Amino acid sequence: MEMGAMHKTIAVSCLVVLLLWWAWRVLNWAWFKPKKLEKRLRQQGFKGNSYRFLVGDVKDSAAMLHDAMHKPITFCNDIVPRIMPHIHHTIKSYAMIRCNINALQDGISQCTMLPAFAICYDQLLSKWEKAASTEGAYEVDVFPTFDTLTSDVISRVAFGSNYVEGGKIFFLLKELIELTVQETTGILLTWTMVLLSKHPQWQERAREEVFQTFGRNNLDFERLNHLKVVTMILYEVLRLYPPVSDLTKIVHKETKLGEFSIPPGVQIMLPTVVLHRDNKIWGNDAMEFNPMRFSEGVANATKNNVSYFPFSWGPRVCIGQNFALLQAKLGLAMILQRFTFELSPSYAHAPMTILTLQPQHGAHVIYRKV
Protein backbone atom coordinates (compact mmCIF):
# COMPACT_ATOMS: atom_id res chain seq x y z
CA MET A 1 0.00 0.00 0.00
CA GLU A 2 2.77 2.39 0.93
CA MET A 3 4.60 1.73 -2.37
CA GLY A 4 1.40 2.28 -4.33
CA ALA A 5 0.71 5.52 -2.51
CA MET A 6 4.28 6.68 -3.14
CA HIS A 7 4.01 5.91 -6.86
CA LYS A 8 0.73 7.76 -6.98
CA THR A 9 2.27 10.75 -5.22
CA ILE A 10 5.20 10.78 -7.64
CA ALA A 11 2.85 10.57 -10.64
CA VAL A 12 0.70 13.40 -9.34
CA SER A 13 3.79 15.49 -8.61
CA CYS A 14 5.12 14.92 -12.12
CA LEU A 15 1.76 15.85 -13.59
CA VAL A 16 1.62 19.03 -11.50
CA VAL A 17 5.16 19.97 -12.55
CA LEU A 18 4.29 19.31 -16.20
CA LEU A 19 1.14 21.41 -15.96
CA LEU A 20 3.03 24.22 -14.24
CA TRP A 21 5.73 24.09 -16.91
CA TRP A 22 3.15 24.32 -19.71
CA ALA A 23 1.30 27.07 -17.85
CA TRP A 24 4.56 29.02 -17.55
CA ARG A 25 5.32 28.59 -21.26
CA VAL A 26 1.85 29.78 -22.24
CA LEU A 27 1.99 32.70 -19.81
CA ASN A 28 5.46 33.65 -21.02
CA TRP A 29 4.33 33.50 -24.68
CA ALA A 30 1.07 35.34 -24.08
CA TRP A 31 2.18 38.01 -21.61
CA PHE A 32 5.71 38.19 -20.20
CA LYS A 33 7.63 38.03 -23.50
CA PRO A 34 5.44 40.63 -25.30
CA LYS A 35 5.60 42.96 -22.30
CA LYS A 36 9.38 42.54 -22.14
CA LEU A 37 9.67 43.45 -25.83
CA GLU A 38 7.37 46.43 -25.29
CA LYS A 39 9.51 47.64 -22.38
CA ARG A 40 12.74 47.40 -24.41
CA LEU A 41 11.24 49.36 -27.30
CA ARG A 42 9.79 52.06 -25.03
CA GLN A 43 13.18 52.48 -23.36
CA GLN A 44 14.53 53.46 -26.80
CA GLY A 45 11.80 56.06 -27.34
CA PHE A 46 9.27 54.08 -29.35
CA LYS A 47 5.66 55.02 -28.68
CA GLY A 48 2.32 53.39 -29.42
CA ASN A 49 -0.54 51.48 -27.86
CA SER A 50 0.16 49.14 -24.97
CA TYR A 51 0.17 45.40 -25.58
CA ARG A 52 -3.27 43.79 -25.42
CA PHE A 53 -3.55 40.02 -25.10
CA LEU A 54 -4.62 38.22 -28.29
CA VAL A 55 -6.66 41.04 -29.86
CA GLY A 56 -4.00 43.76 -29.94
CA ASP A 57 -5.17 46.55 -32.25
CA VAL A 58 -7.17 44.21 -34.51
CA LYS A 59 -10.60 45.32 -33.26
CA ASP A 60 -9.80 49.03 -33.58
CA SER A 61 -8.14 48.51 -36.96
CA ALA A 62 -11.10 46.51 -38.32
CA ALA A 63 -13.59 49.16 -37.19
CA MET A 64 -11.60 51.98 -38.80
CA LEU A 65 -11.19 50.01 -42.03
CA HIS A 66 -14.91 49.24 -42.15
CA ASP A 67 -15.74 52.94 -41.85
CA ALA A 68 -13.13 53.90 -44.46
CA MET A 69 -14.37 51.33 -47.00
CA HIS A 70 -17.94 52.57 -46.66
CA LYS A 71 -17.67 55.13 -49.45
CA PRO A 72 -15.30 56.24 -52.25
CA ILE A 73 -13.09 59.31 -51.93
CA THR A 74 -12.68 62.28 -54.23
CA PHE A 75 -9.91 61.65 -56.75
CA CYS A 76 -6.58 62.37 -55.09
CA ASN A 77 -3.42 60.44 -54.35
CA ASP A 78 -3.74 60.80 -50.57
CA ILE A 79 -5.10 57.27 -50.21
CA VAL A 80 -3.46 56.24 -46.92
CA PRO A 81 -6.43 57.33 -44.72
CA ARG A 82 -8.65 55.02 -46.77
CA ILE A 83 -6.55 51.89 -47.25
CA MET A 84 -4.62 52.02 -43.95
CA PRO A 85 -6.74 54.14 -41.55
CA HIS A 86 -5.28 52.62 -38.39
CA ILE A 87 -1.69 53.21 -39.53
CA HIS A 88 -2.64 56.76 -40.57
CA HIS A 89 -4.16 57.36 -37.13
CA THR A 90 -1.11 55.88 -35.36
CA ILE A 91 1.33 58.07 -37.29
CA LYS A 92 -0.73 61.17 -36.50
CA SER A 93 -1.02 60.23 -32.82
CA TYR A 94 2.59 59.28 -32.17
CA ALA A 95 5.68 61.06 -33.42
CA MET A 96 7.52 59.11 -36.09
CA ILE A 97 10.98 57.89 -35.18
CA ARG A 98 13.01 58.02 -38.35
CA CYS A 99 16.47 57.01 -39.37
CA ASN A 100 18.16 56.62 -42.73
CA ILE A 101 18.74 53.07 -43.84
CA ASN A 102 21.33 52.98 -46.57
CA ALA A 103 22.60 50.00 -46.96
CA LEU A 104 10.82 32.03 -62.55
CA GLN A 105 12.59 34.29 -64.86
CA ASP A 106 16.23 33.22 -64.54
CA GLY A 107 15.94 30.71 -67.35
CA ILE A 108 13.86 32.86 -69.69
CA SER A 109 15.55 35.60 -71.68
CA GLN A 110 13.77 38.89 -72.19
CA CYS A 111 14.15 38.54 -75.95
CA THR A 112 12.26 35.25 -75.74
CA MET A 113 9.50 36.75 -73.60
CA LEU A 114 8.81 39.78 -75.77
CA PRO A 115 7.12 37.99 -78.70
CA ALA A 116 4.87 36.10 -76.27
CA PHE A 117 3.94 39.38 -74.57
CA ALA A 118 3.19 41.00 -77.91
CA ILE A 119 0.93 38.16 -79.10
CA CYS A 120 -1.21 38.30 -75.96
CA TYR A 121 -1.55 42.09 -76.02
CA ASP A 122 -2.25 42.15 -79.75
CA GLN A 123 -5.12 39.70 -79.34
CA LEU A 124 -6.70 41.84 -76.62
CA LEU A 125 -6.18 45.19 -78.36
CA SER A 126 -7.54 43.84 -81.65
CA LYS A 127 -10.80 43.04 -79.84
CA TRP A 128 -10.88 46.57 -78.46
CA GLU A 129 -10.21 48.04 -81.91
CA LYS A 130 -13.05 46.05 -83.42
CA ALA A 131 -15.46 47.20 -80.73
CA ALA A 132 -14.28 50.82 -80.96
CA SER A 133 -14.66 50.80 -84.76
CA THR A 134 -18.29 49.76 -84.41
CA GLU A 135 -19.29 52.03 -81.54
CA GLY A 136 -16.74 54.87 -81.83
CA ALA A 137 -15.52 54.15 -78.32
CA TYR A 138 -15.15 51.11 -76.13
CA GLU A 139 -15.58 51.03 -72.35
CA VAL A 140 -13.95 48.26 -70.35
CA ASP A 141 -13.16 47.51 -66.71
CA VAL A 142 -9.41 47.16 -67.07
CA PHE A 143 -8.77 45.63 -63.65
CA PRO A 144 -10.12 42.11 -64.31
CA THR A 145 -9.14 42.41 -67.98
CA PHE A 146 -5.45 42.99 -67.24
CA ASP A 147 -5.51 40.34 -64.52
CA THR A 148 -6.63 37.70 -67.03
CA LEU A 149 -4.26 39.04 -69.67
CA THR A 150 -1.19 38.74 -67.48
CA SER A 151 -2.22 35.19 -66.57
CA ASP A 152 -2.28 34.41 -70.29
CA VAL A 153 1.16 35.99 -70.74
CA ILE A 154 2.69 33.98 -67.89
CA SER A 155 1.13 30.77 -69.17
CA ARG A 156 2.37 31.37 -72.70
CA VAL A 157 5.91 32.32 -71.64
CA ALA A 158 6.32 29.60 -69.03
CA PHE A 159 4.45 26.75 -70.69
CA GLY A 160 4.30 27.64 -74.38
CA SER A 161 0.51 27.63 -74.28
CA ASN A 162 -2.39 29.98 -73.90
CA TYR A 163 -4.22 30.51 -70.62
CA VAL A 164 -6.86 27.84 -71.32
CA GLU A 165 -4.43 25.15 -72.49
CA GLY A 166 -1.97 25.84 -69.69
CA GLY A 167 -4.70 26.23 -67.09
CA LYS A 168 -4.04 23.00 -65.20
CA ILE A 169 -0.31 23.66 -64.92
CA PHE A 170 -0.87 27.33 -64.13
CA PHE A 171 -3.30 26.45 -61.33
CA LEU A 172 -0.62 24.34 -59.62
CA LEU A 173 1.81 27.29 -59.60
CA LYS A 174 -0.80 29.99 -59.03
CA GLU A 175 0.03 30.61 -55.37
CA LEU A 176 3.72 31.06 -56.20
CA ILE A 177 3.30 33.19 -59.32
CA GLU A 178 0.12 35.17 -58.72
CA LEU A 179 1.34 37.82 -56.30
CA THR A 180 4.84 38.11 -57.72
CA VAL A 181 3.96 38.56 -61.38
CA GLN A 182 0.32 38.23 -62.35
CA GLU A 183 -1.28 40.66 -59.91
CA THR A 184 1.76 42.93 -59.89
CA THR A 185 1.58 43.57 -63.64
CA GLY A 186 -2.21 43.69 -63.84
CA ILE A 187 -2.46 46.20 -61.01
CA LEU A 188 0.42 48.31 -62.34
CA LEU A 189 -1.30 48.61 -65.73
CA THR A 190 -4.66 49.32 -64.09
CA TRP A 191 -3.40 52.26 -62.02
CA THR A 192 -1.37 53.49 -65.00
CA MET A 193 -4.57 53.72 -67.05
CA VAL A 194 -6.28 55.60 -64.20
CA LEU A 195 -3.48 58.12 -63.67
CA LEU A 196 -2.82 58.77 -67.37
CA SER A 197 -6.56 59.30 -67.82
CA LYS A 198 -6.43 61.95 -65.09
CA HIS A 199 -3.25 63.48 -66.54
CA PRO A 200 -3.77 63.55 -70.33
CA GLN A 201 -0.68 65.72 -70.85
CA TRP A 202 1.49 62.84 -69.68
CA GLN A 203 -0.52 60.40 -71.74
CA GLU A 204 0.22 62.51 -74.81
CA ARG A 205 3.92 62.87 -73.97
CA ALA A 206 4.22 59.10 -73.66
CA ARG A 207 2.35 58.55 -76.93
CA GLU A 208 4.63 60.99 -78.76
CA GLU A 209 7.67 59.13 -77.43
CA VAL A 210 6.26 55.78 -78.58
CA PHE A 211 5.52 57.11 -82.09
CA GLN A 212 8.94 58.77 -82.33
CA THR A 213 10.60 55.49 -81.37
CA PHE A 214 8.47 52.93 -83.22
CA GLY A 215 5.97 54.77 -85.41
CA ARG A 216 3.14 52.31 -85.96
CA ASN A 217 5.51 49.37 -86.35
CA ASN A 218 5.84 46.40 -84.03
CA LEU A 219 7.84 47.02 -80.88
CA ASP A 220 11.26 45.44 -80.40
CA PHE A 221 13.15 44.83 -77.19
CA GLU A 222 16.24 46.93 -77.90
CA ARG A 223 14.31 50.13 -78.58
CA LEU A 224 11.78 49.38 -75.83
CA ASN A 225 14.53 50.25 -73.36
CA HIS A 226 14.80 53.71 -74.96
CA LEU A 227 11.32 54.71 -73.74
CA LYS A 228 12.40 57.11 -71.01
CA VAL A 229 9.06 58.90 -70.49
CA VAL A 230 7.14 55.61 -70.35
CA THR A 231 9.62 54.29 -67.76
CA MET A 232 9.32 57.46 -65.67
CA ILE A 233 5.53 57.14 -65.72
CA LEU A 234 5.62 53.51 -64.56
CA TYR A 235 8.02 54.38 -61.73
CA GLU A 236 5.73 57.19 -60.58
CA VAL A 237 2.66 54.96 -60.71
CA LEU A 238 4.53 52.41 -58.59
CA ARG A 239 5.42 55.15 -56.11
CA LEU A 240 1.84 56.31 -55.64
CA TYR A 241 0.10 52.95 -56.07
CA PRO A 242 2.58 50.17 -55.20
CA PRO A 243 1.21 46.64 -55.66
CA VAL A 244 1.61 45.97 -51.92
CA SER A 245 0.79 48.83 -49.55
CA ASP A 246 2.98 47.62 -46.69
CA LEU A 247 5.71 45.10 -45.91
CA THR A 248 6.05 43.16 -42.68
CA LYS A 249 9.34 41.78 -41.39
CA ILE A 250 9.97 39.73 -38.23
CA VAL A 251 13.29 40.19 -36.46
CA HIS A 252 14.87 36.78 -35.81
CA LYS A 253 18.05 37.96 -34.08
CA GLU A 254 19.22 41.11 -32.33
CA THR A 255 19.48 43.73 -35.06
CA LYS A 256 21.12 47.15 -34.98
CA LEU A 257 19.03 49.68 -36.88
CA GLY A 258 20.79 53.02 -36.80
CA GLU A 259 20.83 54.05 -33.14
CA PHE A 260 18.24 51.44 -32.17
CA SER A 261 18.68 47.84 -31.08
CA ILE A 262 15.73 45.71 -32.17
CA PRO A 263 15.31 42.48 -30.14
CA PRO A 264 14.27 39.18 -31.76
CA GLY A 265 10.53 38.58 -31.91
CA VAL A 266 9.65 42.15 -32.87
CA GLN A 267 7.47 42.55 -35.96
CA ILE A 268 8.37 45.57 -38.09
CA MET A 269 5.89 47.06 -40.51
CA LEU A 270 7.09 49.18 -43.43
CA PRO A 271 4.10 51.16 -44.74
CA THR A 272 5.21 51.57 -48.36
CA VAL A 273 2.41 53.95 -49.31
CA VAL A 274 3.29 56.23 -46.39
CA LEU A 275 7.02 56.37 -47.11
CA HIS A 276 6.32 56.90 -50.82
CA ARG A 277 4.39 60.05 -49.85
CA ASP A 278 6.82 61.50 -47.32
CA ASN A 279 7.47 65.18 -48.09
CA LYS A 280 10.92 64.98 -46.48
CA ILE A 281 11.98 62.42 -49.08
CA TRP A 282 9.98 63.39 -52.16
CA GLY A 283 9.43 67.11 -51.68
CA ASN A 284 6.31 69.20 -51.23
CA ASP A 285 4.70 67.66 -54.31
CA ALA A 286 4.86 64.13 -52.86
CA MET A 287 1.09 63.71 -53.26
CA GLU A 288 1.18 64.81 -56.90
CA PHE A 289 1.63 62.68 -60.00
CA ASN A 290 4.95 63.96 -61.33
CA PRO A 291 6.98 61.44 -63.37
CA MET A 292 9.71 64.07 -63.87
CA ARG A 293 11.03 63.25 -60.41
CA PHE A 294 12.43 60.04 -61.97
CA SER A 295 14.05 61.80 -64.94
CA GLU A 296 17.52 61.05 -63.52
CA GLY A 297 16.71 57.64 -62.08
CA VAL A 298 15.45 56.23 -58.80
CA ALA A 299 18.61 56.94 -56.78
CA ASN A 300 18.51 60.65 -57.59
CA ALA A 301 14.76 60.84 -56.93
CA THR A 302 15.20 59.35 -53.45
CA LYS A 303 18.40 61.27 -52.64
CA ASN A 304 20.14 57.88 -52.38
CA ASN A 305 17.96 56.76 -49.46
CA VAL A 306 16.37 53.31 -49.45
CA SER A 307 12.88 54.78 -49.51
CA TYR A 308 11.44 53.44 -52.78
CA PHE A 309 10.57 49.77 -52.67
CA PRO A 310 7.39 48.96 -54.63
CA PHE A 311 8.70 45.40 -55.06
CA SER A 312 10.25 45.11 -51.57
CA TRP A 313 14.07 44.88 -51.47
CA GLY A 314 16.96 42.73 -50.36
CA PRO A 315 16.85 38.90 -50.39
CA ARG A 316 13.03 38.96 -50.39
CA VAL A 317 12.68 41.32 -53.33
CA CYS A 318 9.89 40.34 -55.73
CA ILE A 319 11.32 37.81 -58.19
CA GLY A 320 8.94 39.01 -60.87
CA GLN A 321 9.81 42.73 -60.87
CA ASN A 322 11.77 42.72 -64.15
CA PHE A 323 9.14 40.52 -65.76
CA ALA A 324 6.37 42.86 -64.54
CA LEU A 325 8.09 46.08 -65.65
CA LEU A 326 8.96 44.73 -69.09
CA GLN A 327 5.44 43.45 -69.63
CA ALA A 328 3.89 46.71 -68.40
CA LYS A 329 6.20 48.81 -70.59
CA LEU A 330 5.32 46.78 -73.67
CA GLY A 331 1.61 46.77 -72.87
CA LEU A 332 1.44 50.51 -72.25
CA ALA A 333 3.39 51.27 -75.44
CA MET A 334 1.07 49.09 -77.54
CA ILE A 335 -2.02 50.71 -76.01
CA LEU A 336 -0.65 54.20 -76.66
CA GLN A 337 0.02 53.28 -80.30
CA ARG A 338 -3.63 52.38 -80.87
CA PHE A 339 -5.82 54.31 -78.43
CA THR A 340 -6.47 57.45 -76.48
CA PHE A 341 -8.28 56.81 -73.22
CA GLU A 342 -10.13 58.50 -70.40
CA LEU A 343 -11.91 57.44 -67.23
CA SER A 344 -15.57 56.51 -67.49
CA PRO A 345 -18.00 58.81 -65.63
CA SER A 346 -18.94 55.71 -63.63
CA TYR A 347 -15.44 55.43 -62.15
CA ALA A 348 -15.37 55.78 -58.35
CA HIS A 349 -11.98 56.31 -56.73
CA ALA A 350 -11.93 53.68 -54.01
CA PRO A 351 -8.50 52.07 -53.55
CA MET A 352 -8.51 49.11 -51.19
CA THR A 353 -6.08 46.44 -50.06
CA ILE A 354 -6.80 42.73 -50.46
CA LEU A 355 -3.21 41.50 -50.38
CA THR A 356 -2.58 43.95 -53.23
CA LEU A 357 -3.67 47.56 -53.76
CA GLN A 358 -6.65 47.43 -56.12
CA PRO A 359 -9.72 49.50 -57.12
CA GLN A 360 -12.68 48.41 -55.00
CA HIS A 361 -15.27 49.12 -57.71
CA GLY A 362 -13.09 48.33 -60.72
CA ALA A 363 -11.52 50.79 -63.16
CA HIS A 364 -13.78 51.54 -66.11
CA VAL A 365 -11.87 53.24 -68.92
CA ILE A 366 -13.16 54.49 -72.30
CA TYR A 367 -10.89 53.80 -75.30
CA ARG A 368 -10.95 55.54 -78.68
CA LYS A 369 -8.84 54.61 -81.69
CA VAL A 370 -5.95 56.92 -82.51
The DSSP code sequence of 31-79 is IIHHHHHHHHHHHTT---PPP-TTTTTHHHHHHHHHHHTTS---S-S--
Amino acid, single-letter form, for residue 313: W
Which of 89-93, 159-163, 324-328 is least confident? 159-163
State residue 242's pLDDT score.
92
Question: Is there a contact between 124 and 138 (Cβ–Cβ < 8 Å)?
Answer: no
State residue 7's pLDDT score.
66
- Of the pLDDT bands very low, low, confident and very high (cuts 50, 70, 90), residue 105 is very low
Question: Is there a contact between 361 and 340 (Cβ–Cβ < 8 Å)?
Answer: no
Is 318 annotated to bind a ligand? Reply is yes
- Which pLDDT tens digit goes with each residue over 247-259? 888 888 888 877 7
Residue of higher predicted confidence among 338 and 147: 338
- Ranges of each domain in the chain: 61-369
Nearest to 281 by CA among 258, 298, 257, 268: 298
Q: How many percent of the chain have pLDDT more than 70?
A: 73
Say what angle helices 228-240 and 321-338 make with each other, to 10 degrees.
120
Question: Is there a contact between 338 and 125 (Cβ–Cβ < 8 Å)?
Answer: yes
Average pLDDT, the chain: 80
The CATH homologous superfamily of the domain defined by 61-369: Cytochrome P450 (1.10.630.10)
**List of long-range contacts for 209-212, beta carbons under 8 Å, 24+ apart:** 210/333, 210/336, 210/337, 211/337
Which of 190-194, 323-327, 359-363 is least confident? 323-327
Say whether pLDDT at 131 is over 80. Answer: yes
Alpha carbon 244 to its chain centroid, in Å, reads: 2
Classify each residue of 263-302 as buried b or exposed e, where b means 16 or more C-beta atoms within 10 Å of its C-beta: eeebeeeebbbbbbbeeebbeeebeebbbebbeeeeeebb
Q: Which residues pair with 369 in a beta bridge?
A: 339
- Which pLDDT tens digit goes with each residue over 164-195? 554 555 454 444 444 445 578 889 999 999 99
Measured CA to CA, the distance from residue 311 to residue 285 in angstroms comes to 23
Mean pLDDT confidence for 27-54: 72
Alpha carbon 284 to its chain centroid, in Å, reads: 24
